[in-house]
Amino acid sequence: MGKIEDVPTVNGEGFQLTVLDKVIGAARANSLWPLPFATSCCGIEYMATMGSNYDLARFGMERMSFSPRQADLLIVAGTISKKLAPVLKQVYEQMAEPKWVLSVGACASSGGIFDTYSVLQGIDRVIPVDVYVPGCPPRPEQIIDGIMKIQEMAKTESLRRRYSDEYKSLMSNYNIESDEQ
């Protein structure tokens, strides 16, 4: 899990040299602290994923973070009402960079079967989403697959991507101010 693969290394007596980006990427990928934002049946499936049968701790997610300031992975699972959308956006804005978002289930991804005036038709209307997990509700195996995709993103993401003009433009599309230089 924590192996750094395909990285040029120099081995010497008592030391090993490698690329810093790859080491930081591996550390990020294997120490994600998720913040579960679960509102309905998808939340129950996420809880099952945390149980001993599936054990997310083997992916470096031993610690659930219920404070956005200490989390770097927001897992939105379930139906989000339009009244709850500003709260979700505030939680996202309070998270420190780098941060990733996992949308779990049909309701979080597209509103699901609830095509009504009160249900947000996808969380990507208020915050950017990195990975979508389909299903109603998705199986724990699907949630684990989504988390592994987030880990791959964390491992391969450039350390400077979040300072790029493209990223700042994406944030401005969501009316989120990027306070980084």
One-letter amino acid of 45 = E
38 inside domain: yes
53 inside domain: yes
Q: Which two tokens stand for residue 149?
A: 């995709």
74 inside domain: yes
pLDDT for 178: 62
pLDDT for 132: 95
pTM as predicted = 0.84
Angle ∠(140,146,150) on CA atoms, nearest 5: 140
Chain centroid offset of residue 128 CA? 10
Torsions phi, psi of 17, nearest 5?
-110, 145
* Domain of 81, in residue numbers: 10-173
pLDDT for 8: 64
pLDDT for 101: 94
Here the CATH number for the domain that contains residue 24 is 3.40.50.12280
Query: Please, are residues 25 and 157 in contact by the beta-carbon 8 Å criterion?
Result: yes
16 inside domain: yes
Q: Is the dihedral of CA 92, 95, 99, 102 positive or negative?
A: negative
**What are the per-10-residue average pLDDT scores of the chain (181 residues)?**
58 70 85 90 86 84 86 92 93 90 92 89 92 91 93 85 81 74 46
pLDDT for 181: 46
CA atoms of 47 and 27, how far apart (whole Å): 25
Name the domain count of the chain.
1
One-letter amino acid of 127 = I
CA atoms of 121 and 108, how far apart (whole Å): 8
Cα separation values, 119 from 83, 109, 110, 134, 162, Å? 9, 12, 10, 18, 30
pLDDT for 144: 92
84 inside domain: yes
